[in-house]
Structure 1
Amino acid sequence: MTSARTSATAVRYALAIVALAAVWLAMLLLGGGPVDRSIYEALYAGNHPALVAVARGFTLLGEPTVLIAASVIAAIGLWLAGHRRLPVVVIAVTMLGRGLSEAQKYWIARARPDFESHLVVVKTQSFPSGHANSSMIFYLMLALVLTEGGKCRRPAVAGAIMLSLCIGLSRVMLGVHWPSDVVGGWAFGMLWVLLTLRMAQRFVERDIRR
């Protein structure tokens, strides 16, 4: 029975990896078209000041400086709690994931949408959304790490994903990303977390259970 469960888990894991990679590729190849534009225009919040304020609030939670500072604080908290390996994982997963996101931007060099005014300042290319990518990496990774073996694991993971979804949507609402940029960012962020935490599992296994 244990062997069967292990095999089933491995299959689900492999399917999740393939599915996320396929979503990322689809967003890369199909983004910027009529469907992307229609969704972008439907979500743009430029004529609704209240929605713009909400979107800016969520965008703030995905800012690189905020997430980097939060990852450092989380790492320090884990260190003070007696963990010695988890802080390394938190910093490495967050920073490397952010770096890969920026590398994709320069490599792919997709232009940002310019049909409407950008409601926040942006300086880099469009695909993938760094806010969607980095927020998915940090919040999902933190939820998984902090709730290992706990009863609140599923609610924590669901909450982390929902927060990242709101952050990503805020980028379209503010007119600075195509919807495909955001979906691609979510897909890569989740893919990165699944890959890195799986690889780091043995490294941190004893540390998590201390």
Structure 2
Amino acid sequence: MDKNEKLAGLAFLLLLGGLGLASLFIVLFAELAEEVMEKEVGLFDNFVIQIVQASSSATVDTIMFVFTEMGSVWFLTLSSIIILLVLGVKMKDKWGVLFFIIAVGGGSLLTLLLKHLYLRERPSINEEIDAIGYSFPSGHSMGSLIFYGFVIYLVIRTRQQPWIQWPATAVLSLLIITIGTSRIYLGAHFPSDVLAGYIAGLIWLMLNLIALEWIQWHSKSPVPPVRALRQLLGPLYKIIRKKIPFFSK
């Protein structure tokens, strides 16, 4: 097996692993949704709310309001336009543009679908912080994870300098967490809503990135993916046939 076949086979295994991981998160989301519908997350929600709101003050209120706006529809929409311009004009990445639109736009539609599927009421209604409609899952949490997660992917994928890549990844990851925390602090969501938003957003983001990587790899790799996987697993299959009689029949 040559070097290209080994690399292609490993890449294919990583893609399969990503799909398996996404499947696990789907199961986790389904379990959490069931617990929420059966109202068995009250202790968890109340415990987290007490911790988050323990240091409440006028200054913290202002800070949390700023962070919650960074996960709002208007802010993510304007930021998405900038990302699309960078992808389309500067990087000329047509597949990146397509899957960014699918990830962010499709994520918004998925959020609405899930909200109207579970119909969970909010802890409080406040139009000033975009706390209207149903609560589960948190749209801010889901949208911010998809958007900022995609930006993290782009930072890593474009092989930026380490002094740019790692601080940017850390800051954006912290921003995602802080946006979700702000929704709990401001009373817009229950903690379980935020957790569900993160899980659902991660699932959707992973599926889009897996599809994007698959297309980009398939268009650039000189080795067909299925053949690469067969070449990679061939020696393992021969060992199994020798060790286990069932496979040698």
**After TM superposition, is the score higher than 0.5?**
yes
In 1, Cα distance between the equivalents of 2:13 and 2:204? Answer: 21
**Contact persistence 1:52–1:174 (CA under 8 A):** yes
Identity of aligned residues (%): 23
Cα separation, 1, equivalents of 2:167 and 2:102: 25
- Larger helix fraction of residues: 2
CA distance in 1, matches of 2:97, 2:43: 44
- Relative to 1, partners in 2 of residues 1:12 and 1:158: Cα closer, same or farther, differing over 3 Å? farther
- Write the distance in 1 (CA, Å) between the matches of 2:120 and 2:153: 32
> What residue is the counterpart of 1:184 in the other structure?
196
2:34 counterpart (29, 36, 45)? 29
2:119 alignment partner in structure 1: 109
Normalising to structure 1: TM-score of the pair? 0.84
Kept in 2, the 8 Å contact 1:83–1:207? The answer is no
In structure 1, what residue type is equivalent to 2:33?
Answer: L
Tell me which amino acid in the other structure corresponds to 1:20: F
Matching of residue 145 in structure 1 with residue 150 in structure 2: no
Q: How many angstroms apart in 1 are the aligned matches of 2:88 and 2:15?
A: 31
**1:125 is aligned to 2:151:** no
The question of whether the paired residues in 2 share the 8 Å contact of 1:68 and 1:95 is answered with no
- For residues 51 and 120 of structure 1, the distance between their equivalents in structure 2, rounded to whole angstroms, comes to 15
Number of the residue aligned with 2:210: 198
**3-state SS in 2 of match to 1:44:** helix
Shift in CA distance, 156/191, structure 1 to aligned 2, threshold 3 Å? farther
Measure how far apart 1:82 and its partner are. Answer: 4.2
Measured after TM superposition, the shift of residue 5 of structure 1 is: 4.3
Distance 1:121 1:67, change over 3 A: closer
Matches within 5 A, 1:40-119: 40-44=49-53, 47-85=56-94, 86-114=96-124
Aligned length: 206
Moved more, 25-34 or 167-176: 25-34
Task: Please say if residues 45 and 173 of structure 1, whose CA atoms lie closer than 8 Å, have aligned partners that are also in contact.
Answer: no
- 1:207 offset after TM fit, Å? 9.7
Q: Match for residue 17 of structure 1?
A: 22
CA 1:202–1:4 in structure 2 vs 1: closer, same or farther (change >3 Å)?
Answer: closer
User: Which has the larger displacement, 80-89 or 173-182?
Assistant: 80-89
**Larger Rg, first or second structure (1 or 2):** 2
Shift of 1:110: 0.6
Kindly provide the CA deviation profile for residues 9-60 of structure 1, in whole angstroms up to 9, marking residues without a partner as x. 3564244213322332233122342221221233236941121111111101
Secondary structure at the counterpart of residue 135 of structure 2: coil
1:202 and 1:12 mapped to 2: Cα distance?
13
CA distance in structure 1 between the aligned counterparts of 2:14 and 2:216, rounded to whole angstroms: 20
- Which consecutive residues of structure 2, in runs of 5 or more, have no partner in the other structure? 1-5, 221-249
Normalising by the residue count of structure 2, what TM-score does the alignment of the two structures yield?
0.72
Structure-2 change in CA distance of 1:4 and 1:198 (3 Å): closer
| Per-residue deviation, 1:159 | 3.3
